[in-house]
Amino acid sequence: MLPTVALVGRPNVGKSTLFNALTRTRDALVHDQPGVTRDRHYGVCRLQEDRPFVLVDTGGIAGDEEGLAGATARQARAAAEESDLVLFVVDGREGPSALDDEILSWLRKSGRPVLLVVNKVDGIDARQAENEFARYGFEDVVQTAASHRAGIDELLDDVYARL
């Protein structure tokens, strides 16, 4: 079985853009099968041929009556539970938010390894953006600009170091 890596984070931080960059698809590999939860999209990253892994994109369905925070937290937890590694994606332009804090606390409860991905660092001071998240206490942080395919190789290196 291939290892599984989940993209988790609040809406609009760039999870699906990262998913597309890593799987080189536009949802071409999304499974529409019974038993596969509709709020998660599955693809395979084959950027390094000999080390494919399953990638899970979360947050495809907006929160309804339970609200955005509840839906995001539930998806974060479900994705973490079925994954070997979680990529916690945040927005380097906006800095940390209350919802980020909440998602991270869910992820920590899952006990899974978590890698912090600070996305959208194109055109800004990436180091300063990373510093905004210092209180989360991650030793290794990856900076990406998914929409420009920037930082993808570094991200892959960090993923493979943990799988």
Residues annotated in a binding site for GTP: 9-16, 57-61, 119-122
> From residue 103 to residue 132, what is the string marking binding to ligand GDP with x (rule CB under 6 A)?
----------------xx-x----------
* Three state DSSP letters for 91-107: ECCCCCCHHHHHHHHHH
15 lines the binding site for ligand GDP (CB under 6 A): yes
12 lines the binding site for ligand GDP (CB under 6 A): yes
Closest by CA position to 64, among listed 41, 35, 39, 40? 39
| DSSP designation for 150 | B
13 lines the binding site for ligand GDP (CB under 6 A): yes
145 lines the binding site for ligand GDP (CB under 6 A): yes
Please report how the helices 152-162 and 15-23 are oriented relative to each other, as an axis angle in degrees rounded to 10.
Answer: 80
Q: Given the complex with Mg ion, which of 15 and 120 has the nearer CB atom?
A: 15
* Least distance in angstroms from the C-beta of 17 to ligand GDP: 3
Radius of gyration of the chain (CA): 15
Q: Which of residues 16-45 bind ligand GDP (CB under 6 A)?
A: 16-17
Whole-number Å distance between alpha carbons of 141 and 87:
10
59 lines the binding site for ligand GDP (CB under 6 A): yes
Q: Given the complex with ligand GDP, which of 15 and 40 has the nearer CB atom?
A: 15
16 lines the binding site for Mg ion (CB under 5 A): yes
59 close to 15: Cβ distance less than 8 angstroms:
yes
Give the β-pairing of 53-58 and 40-45: antiparallel
Binding residues for ligand GDP, per CB under 6 A?
A: 9, 11-17, 59, 119-120, 122, 145-147
